[in-house]
Structure 1
């Protein structure tokens, strides 16, 4: 019976099926010497994993770039991941694709979204300025001076003046203006903020780890679930499984080390 491979995955089993189907298509592409067939297989892999690219694009929306452009860049990142992925590396495709797509989107914001090109140092400084302005305005009860901004972020006044002079170079909005109609919408400074979006990390962790966890044996999966989902203590896990707390500790160390070893090569893809 033919197995239907899900393209919209809501469970670990769905993701495991997609990962398996992706690997089979990529293996077939590696074996093929026919250019037309290789292109067809590449397109099939891209179509099968479009949800991943769209999910990453979704996390960057509302930041001054058209949604269609974001999705297109993410899809280009997905194609780049398909072409660059090496089956022999032993990393799940998702573990290579997510940082590759994310890196492509971030490079687009960094390199392509400025109408007038300004040094990256000033782009980053604008993000830092935008990050402290609301707090300073609240504390002072007025708009802060350049000197006050410079003292807060620890730079020279001349640097703040340069960054302020370059404001408005982004394609859609100035750094401190809301991206939408509501005052609580994201501001453009979020594009180059110093901290990462925790929701994006959560999405990446789910996508990357799900097929790896699905490949563990049932007892290892149960131990992970009890410890990190149910928040059980190691002693309680040992009592449930009929083993000692020390054995649980060793098993957790082995399981996590194995997952880390599988994920480590993916870090070089970004």
Structure 2
């Protein structure tokens, strides 16, 4: 059980950014973490990215909210694939994404916002590390039974068992065994580095499967995103477009943009959050 870290005390130490200095954020009780997170998110949106204060606020949020990762990971304890340590690691990636995208102005509890990100990242982990090709559950279970039967008969017979011998041991028909063996091929995908077996056209230099198939252009997604973003940018007013251009085109800091516009860095941060929120929502609607 997590121990409770006091929210405040007479001798409380604060950082230069006015945030409480928490010696061990991982030990903050979930109840206190919810209240402290609001304070840290409020400061995070006005701190300059890359500064020590910004990193402290962000890292503290990650450690304080690990209980959300453990909660979400608990749903996957009996999935039968993936170690819990791996699940917690990928769940933390989802937590970090949620922290980077959370906006206090939406008046949504961070817990409600973060859990779908965490669960989605864990599900993606299972998708990417389990069967290469989707097969029915009964065939997935049959693969395990066939593996055990092959090992048992292989030891007993000192050779590879036949389909008939496997069928007799498992009390299945030979057709069912064959179906199970074929489905086993879907558990792992063949390597693209395997030779094609035909090097007659390459002067004796063997070609792999990767050499003869097409591949996605890594810049295509960027082009598609820019194409989808263009009409959304046109809906911004001149000032908003100028802010986006200075921040992402000119790579100016929020302080530099504030000086250019004659406003405070905090005001620039709020404007950016509002603009990026509108663009993000617009992109999601188009998907």
Question: What TM-score do the two structures reach when normalised by structure 2?
Answer: 0.41
Higher relative contact order (CA 8 A, sep 6+): 1
Return the index of the structure with the highest Cα Rg.
2
User: More helix per residue: 1 or 2?
Assistant: 1
- TM (norm. structure 1) is 0.43
